[in-house]
Amino acid sequence: MITNSSLDDFYQRNSAPLPDGINKQIGHFNVFEAETLFDKTTGTRVMPYSRRAYYKISWIRGKSNAEYADKVIAIEKNALLFATPKIPYNWLPADSDQTGMFCIFTADFLSPGKAGVPLDELPIFLPGQVPVFQLSDAEVEEVKYIFIKMLKELDSGYRYKYDLLRTLVLELVHYGQKLQPMSVLSAPQNASERISSLFIELLDRQFPLASPHQKLALRTAKDYANRLAVHVNHLNKVLKEVTGNTTTEIISKRLIQEAKILLKQTHWSVSEIAYTLGYDDLAHFSKYFKKQTSLTPVEFRA
């Protein structure tokens, strides 16, 4: 779920002003020159997955690494990186010599009614992909031209500039989909810790549940493995080694924890709570809750 607070957090962290004219009807879009947001005094700026509830396309110029669950992509010179809220990653610069440009946008900015395409169905945003692409010098000039045009149009008074900006975003998407993904390095020794950490982040992002009509997006071990682009057996093995619990055990414990919170802190019916936690059968939820707590949901709420 995309919230205004996630975007507010982005602008606050980067001391960047919110652009005029952005509203719920058109969705959110902005474009930046990366060096204006990079802290060259420390050279340690990273882009953590935490709270990232928007899409991002980055032209990265400089030596850095893009870390996905069990994959590391080494960027030596120029790359085009596509980020989605559904696939966690970390970007780690190797030094302070980082330039380039990037744009951020919400799903509603490119909703099917506006762009004619379901964003998460595009190949470049599907789980399991490694959406980092090396750019040749010629390709850099083409990508740079698109970003500069974005900057120019965003500052213009053209009445239909957001329609044009959507077209430019889609041009970058299709440009990337025609490129070859960069090679993946051998997984480093801390891959297990990273997979475990990213799994916990994904799990945490499922909560809180704000409405009894909101159903849990990720419910099973396979759901999380798909989102992290790892095999479910590998995810289970890693979590067992790092935490001592299987994927299903960790998910189940968190579901019971959330069930207790909802039973005590909301007026939702037990059926509504069961539904929002992914239980289609009330009897199954009640039986499982009692097995874990020795009380039925109704008894726990009393």
Is there a single domain that holds both residue 42 and residue 169?
yes
The confidence score (pLDDT) of residue 112 equals 52
Residue whose entry in the numeric block shows the structure tokens 């709570």: 273
Structure confidence by residue, pLDDT tens digits, 4-63:
446 666 666 665 655 555 544 467 899 998 877 655 555 444 444 344 578 899 999 999
Return mean pLDDT, the chain.
Answer: 81
Give the pTM.
0.58
- Domain coverage including residue 19: 4-177
Is there a single domain that holds both residue 141 and residue 269?
no
For residue 212, give the CATH number of its domain. 1.10.10.60
Structure confidence by residue, pLDDT tens digits, 183-201:
554 444 577 888 888 888 8
* pLDDT band, residue 182 (cuts 50/70/90): low
The confidence score (pLDDT) of residue 27 equals 76
d(CA 18, CA 28): 10
> 48 lies in a domain?
yes
- Helix and strand totals (H; E) in the chain: 11, 8
For residue 40, give the CATH number of its domain. 2.60.120.280
d(CA 41, CA 107): 34
> 46 lies in a domain?
yes
Per-residue tokens: 179: 């490129």
Q: Give the least confident one: 34-43, 93-102, 118-127.
A: 34-43
> 119 lies in a domain?
yes
For 201-229, give one letter per residue: b (16+ CB within 10 A) or e.
ebbebbeebeebeeebebeebebbbbbbb
* pLDDT band, residue 125 (cuts 50/70/90): confident
The confidence score (pLDDT) of residue 113 equals 55
Instruction: Work out the angle at residue 51's Cα, subtended by the Cα atoms of residues 49 and 33, and round it to the nearest 5 degrees.
Output: 70
The confidence score (pLDDT) of residue 50 equals 40
The confidence score (pLDDT) of residue 24 equals 47
For 240, other C-beta atoms within 10 Å of its C-beta total 14
